[in-house]
């Protein structure tokens, strides 16, 4: 189990082969991306396997927002956490095994709590500017996860960790 191979978005090969002169006036994802290269860089940063992010984000704008902030603040990409530890996976396989894995664990738990409160991320709002309690809660989840990752040590030996090493939650 764990991360699963993702097919590149169907539009990406065609987009990358479109002449620059045609794309110069194009708007990519409502102006979020400057050019075709920035689209390709984003998908490279996202990675080819599922991580905990794809299991908690229900829409692309929310995922895009978090990944951009994560990269800007921490210098890390989701691909750095492909099948990392026990919690930074598409399916959580057990309790966290280090600080970085704990960040994924807490981020996931925060979104589970938001789901219980029936909170969803509205891409038409800027969460920090919204008075909506759900928007504020989700913004705090993301902020806390990014701050956690800034301070966490990444242990590359935990990439692709065999899930048999994941401690089971105490029930």
List, by residue number, the catalytic residues: 107, 142
Angle between helices 99-116 and 133-151 (to 10 degrees): 170
Give the three-state DSSP class for 5. strand
d(CA 125, CA 104): 25
Can you spell out the DSSP letters for 85-142? Answer: TTTBSSS--SS--SHHHHHHHHHHHHHHHHHHTT----TTS-GGG---HHHHHHHHHH
Angle subtended at Cα 107 by Cα 127 and Cα 104, rounded to the nearest 5 degrees: 140
d(CA 123, CA 121): 6
């Amino acid at each position: 189990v764990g991360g699963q191979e993702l097919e590149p978005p169907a539009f990406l090969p065609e987009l990358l082969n479109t002449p620059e002169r045609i794309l110069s006036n194009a708007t990519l994802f409502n102006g979020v991306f400057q050019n075709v290269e920035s689209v390709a860089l984003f998908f490279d940063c996202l990675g080819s396997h599922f991580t905990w992010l794809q299991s908690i984000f229900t829409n692309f704008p929310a995922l895009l927002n978090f990944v951009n902030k994560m990269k800007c603040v921490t210098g890390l990409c989701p691909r750095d956490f492909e099948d990392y530890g026990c919690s930074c996976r598409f399916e959580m396989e057990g309790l966290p095994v280090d600080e970085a894995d704990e960040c994924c664990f807490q981020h996931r738990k925060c979104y589970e709590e938001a789901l219980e409160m029936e909170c969803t991320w509205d891409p038409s709002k800027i969460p920090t500017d919204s008075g909506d309690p759900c928007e504020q809660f989700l913004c705090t989840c993301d902020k806390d996860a990014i701050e956690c990752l800034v301070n966490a040590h990444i242990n590359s030996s935990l990439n692709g960790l065999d899930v048999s090493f994941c401690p089971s939650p105490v029930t």
